[in-house]
Structure 1
Amino acid sequence: MSIQAQTAVVDVRPIERVGHRLRVLAEARPRRRPRLVFGIVAVAGAVAIGGIQMGLSILTTQGAYEVRELTSQQRSMTWEKQILQEEIAGLSSPQFLAANAAALGLVAGGAPNYLQLSDGKTLGSGAGASDRSSIEALKRAAVGNALVSGVPLVTDPEASIASGVSVDEQLLLNTPTPPAITDGLPTPTTH
């Protein structure tokens, strides 16, 4: 088989269109001016975008101030909570509870007694508590407690733990005074 070149004949007749025909105009049509509405919409859109950005900026700044204020309030509330916890610790201390119990007339017995549940017998000396307590809680405690110094007792608002002395007198008693200087400044003796 041989390949032969095929030639195609192209029909070059004008295509007739039904309907519109192109024609030459004597003058160009005048250009349409942009409408005023489009300009107003464009300017209004730009102003709206700028206004929204300023509003968001103001809200963000206001939020930062509120966060700072709330952080400050949280810090002060934390300090107040710590102060209240220290006051509760002082008021629940054994020294303060014993002093209030003694002020109310309770006495601590010397020897403990126990009740045996199986047969109901009392173990121990069996002697009742005397009128005098074995613990003198109203006098100065062996271990001082700064959390309850100056806190009034339940029965007497003018007295505190330091042996029934009023709060004002106790503050005067607890104020340390420097040693009296009679012969100049004290100096250590050296060899």
Structure 2
Amino acid sequence: MAGKILTVAQQKGGAGKTTVTAHLAVAFTAAKKSVAVVDIDPQQSLTMWYRLREEHLGDAGAGLLVSAVKGWRSRAEIDKLARDHDIVLVDSPPHAETEAKIAVRSASLVIIPVQPSPMDVWATKPTLELAQQERVPSLLVLNRVPPRANLTEEMLAEIKGYGAKIAKARLGNRVAFAAALAEGRAVGEVQPRGLAASEIRALSKEILRAAG
């Protein structure tokens, strides 16, 4: 068994990497995939969410495992989990640190969350360049998209100038995402018929297609 390795990366902190990773992990398990998440972000926010999830759900939900690891052991842990799971999601640290480079190098696809603001768009360039250097395909995901479509379209035009592939599915600026994580859950479990859950489901399907 050789699972797909999906690395969620972004040089800029606060782009929503952990939020996107957690919600995708649950969406993939809901689609009957066995999922492992490797948390190599020093903040360990995803690990804390998983512990909260275990407290609420007991087994944290069938088919989902979160492993916290850092340093030189990251690549070995990612490869090991890929042998036993359909999907391995990697929540990588911000900045161009060694762990981030390892995570990108290991990936089948690099997912880059980006908020539609000039600073966030500019910050995607180093991550895109790293993926290109490692010859790993990447997919930009617009996250926390506000109702102001004109600003989003302006940022889209600039991103396209980088030659990046942009996901059709977008994640809105919705309180539901953070509220669900605060309960150790995901939007698909808390509000399965809500807009946030619908956006995550669409994104998860698009990512699987992009990863081959």
Write 1 or 2 for the structure with the bigger share of helix.
2
Instruction: Identify, as 1 or 2, the structure richer in strand.
Output: 2
- Structure 1 length normalisation: TM-score? 0.18
User: How high is the TM-score relative to the length of structure 2?
Assistant: 0.17
Q: Which protein has greater RCO, CA pairs closer than 8 Å, 6+ apart? A: 2
